[in-house]
């Protein structure tokens, strides 16, 4: 992945809560310090976050609700996203982000690598995977370790 400053993000990571989003951002910054990383979530000034995003980032970690706000405000463009990480997708459903996640996925380029992590696989998560992932591979650690 070549790095370019002041441009659209190439990696989008979604997390259900600001606490998890901050944790994901911290891990990315520690493991790949050469990538410009931003964390954006609700409860923080929208204008401040718009300003931060205008600087350009390689990786953006967000909660679904704030992403929708930024997309609708034309402050976030997802046209160059090559990698999508959906962390704790089952929890996004539990906190009411089902519709937001669907809207975000519709805005992303169809050619991308997607990683979906979920502790459980409720119907909505399976449907989401079938609809938005190409040839998904499921790794069930519960089955693996219970054998």
Is residue 33, in this structure, part of any structural domain at all?
yes
The yes-or-no verdict on residue 47 having pLDDT over 60 is yes
Is residue 19, in this structure, part of any structural domain at all?
yes
Cα separation, 8 vs 5, in Å, equals 9
CB-based contact 101:89 (threshold 8 Å): yes
The yes-or-no verdict on residue 3 having pLDDT over 60 is no
Which residue range(s) make up the domain with 49? Answer: 11-146
Q: How many domains does one find in the chain?
A: 1
Is residue 130, in this structure, part of any structural domain at all?
yes
Give the whole-number percent of the chain exceeding pLDDT 90.
37
At 127 the pLDDT is 87
CA distances from 95 to 30, 73, 90, 100, 124 (A): 28, 23, 9, 11, 13
DSSP structure class, residue 136: -
Is residue 21, in this structure, part of any structural domain at all?
yes
Which sign, positive or negative, has the C-alpha torsion 75, 77, 78, 82? Answer: negative
Average pLDDT over residues 3-16: 79
Residue 6: pLDDT band (50, 70, 90) is: low
Is residue 138, in this structure, part of any structural domain at all?
yes
Cα separation, 75 vs 102, in Å, equals 19
> Which residues 6+ apart lie within 8 Å of 27 measured at CB?
none
> What predicted TM-score, i.e. pTM, was given to this entire model?
0.86
Q: Could you tell me the CATH number of the domain that includes residue 31? A: 3.40.50.300
Is residue 58, in this structure, part of any structural domain at all?
yes
Cα separation, 44 vs 35, in Å, equals 23
Cα separation, 59 vs 96, in Å, equals 24
Cα separation, 123 vs 56, in Å, equals 36
Is residue 40, in this structure, part of any structural domain at all?
yes
Is residue 116, in this structure, part of any structural domain at all?
yes
At 5 the pLDDT is 47
Per-residue model confidence as pLDDT tens digits over 118-145: 888 888 888 888 888 888 888 877 776 7
């Amino acid at each position: 992945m070549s790095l370019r400053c002041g441009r659209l993000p190439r990696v989008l990571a979604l997390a259900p809560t600001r606490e998890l989003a901050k944790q994901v951002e911290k891990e990315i910054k520690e493991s790949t310090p050469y990538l410009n990383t931003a964390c954006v979530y609700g409860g923080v000034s929208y204008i401040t976050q718009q300003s931060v995003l205008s600087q350009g980032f390689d990786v953006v970690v967000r909660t679904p609700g704030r992403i929708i706000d930024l997309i609708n405000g034309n402050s976030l463009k997802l046209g160059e996203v090559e990698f999508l990480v959906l962390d704790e997708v089952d929890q996004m459903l539990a906190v009411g982000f089902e519709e937001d996640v669907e809207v975000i996925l519709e805005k992303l380029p169809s050619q991308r690598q997607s990683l979906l992590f979920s502790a459980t696989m409720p119907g909505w998560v399976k449907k989401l995977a079938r609809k938005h992932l190409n040839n998904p591979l499921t790794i069930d650690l519960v089955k693996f370790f219970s054998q």
